Structure formats: structure tokens, C-alpha cells
């Protein structure tokens, strides 16, 4: 399991991708799986418009990312205190629907949490196998 707290910026996002890729490869995940997990993490973290301070005060910009690589899938949890709205947006929803086998989200005054399960096989392959 990998747990990271990052203040999001270009350098930090690149480092996050490197850390996620290393964790996935450590347990034998193939490159296509590694790329799907990294792409999803980046999309979930970066596709929100900037948040202005609200009545809840200034938000801490540190995003919590937890990656748990299992034999058949990778669990990705992102806790983003910067996200003030409960709307996921089209880009984020498309990424979740296209790259994961299941996902859920919760949001409130303290931000948003998204968890997602990224299967080792591509989602399209899973749908075809059913």
C-alpha cells in the first residue's frame, strides 16, 4: 500500500505518477495497468476548476492519495479538501466510467473523497468476457 499527501502542482503530479507506477510495478502490474491507474489519479486530482475560499475558510491544498495494488485490481482513494462542489464533472465521470470496474464518491464541507477500483484487465475486456 502506498500513501501520499501532495500539494498539487506540475512537479508534484509528475512525482505522484512516478510513485504510483513504482508501487504498481513492485507487485508485477503490467505497463497498461500502470498507465490506467496513473491517468485516473491525474484526472481525478487535476480536472477541478480552482476553488475560491468559502465560508468554511481557506482549504488546505494537500491531497491524500492511497493506492493499494491487489492481485486482480488496484484500489485508488483520493481525498481532496480543495473540492468544494459535489458535482464530479464530465471529464472526471468519463474517466471513472472508462477506467474502473466500480467507484463511488462522497463530498461535503470538508472536500471530496473518491474511491475507485481499477482492474488489471481493461474494463472493455471485462465487459466482453461477461
Beta bridge partners of 7: 62
The contacts of residue 105 (CB under 8 Å, 6+ apart) are 88, 112, 113, 114, 115
Number of compact structural domains in the chain: 1
Cα separation, 108 vs 125, in Å, equals 35
Tell me which residues of the chain have a pLDDT lower than 50. Answer: 52-58, 130
Q: Rounded to an integer, what is the distance from CA 86 to the centroid of its chain?
A: 16
Flag whether the pTM goes above 0.85. no
* Residue span of the structural domain in which 31 resides: 2-129
CATH for 50: 3.30.565.10
Task: Check residue 107 and give its pLDDT.
Answer: 86
Task: Check residue 60 and give its pLDDT.
Answer: 57
pLDDT tens digits for range 51-88: 544 434 445 568 889 999 998 999 999 998 877 666 78
Task: Check residue 105 and give its pLDDT.
Answer: 93
Amino acid at each position: 500500500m502506498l500513501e501520499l499527501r501532495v500539494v498539487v502542482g506540475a512537479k508534484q503530479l509528475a512525482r505522484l505518477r512516478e510513485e504510483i507506477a513504482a508501487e504498481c510495478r513492485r507487485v508485477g502490474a503490467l505497463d497498461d495497468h500502470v498507465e490506467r491507474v496513473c491517468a485516473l489519479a491525474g484526472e481525478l486530482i487535476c480536472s477541478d476548476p480552482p476553488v475560491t475560499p468559502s465560508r468554511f475558510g481557506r482549504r488546505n491544498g494537500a491531497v491524500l492519495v492511497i493506492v493499494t495494488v491487489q492481485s486482480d485490481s488496484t484500489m485508488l482513494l483520493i481525498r481532496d479538501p480543495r473540492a468544494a462542489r459535489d458535482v464530479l464533472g464530465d471529464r472526471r465521470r468519463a474517466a471513472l466510467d472508462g477506467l474502473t470496474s466500480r467507484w463511488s464518491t462522497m463530498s461535503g464541507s470538508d472536500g471530496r473523497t473518491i474511491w475507485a477500483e481499477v482492474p488489471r484487465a481493461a474494463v472493455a475486456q471485462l465487459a466482453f468476457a461477461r
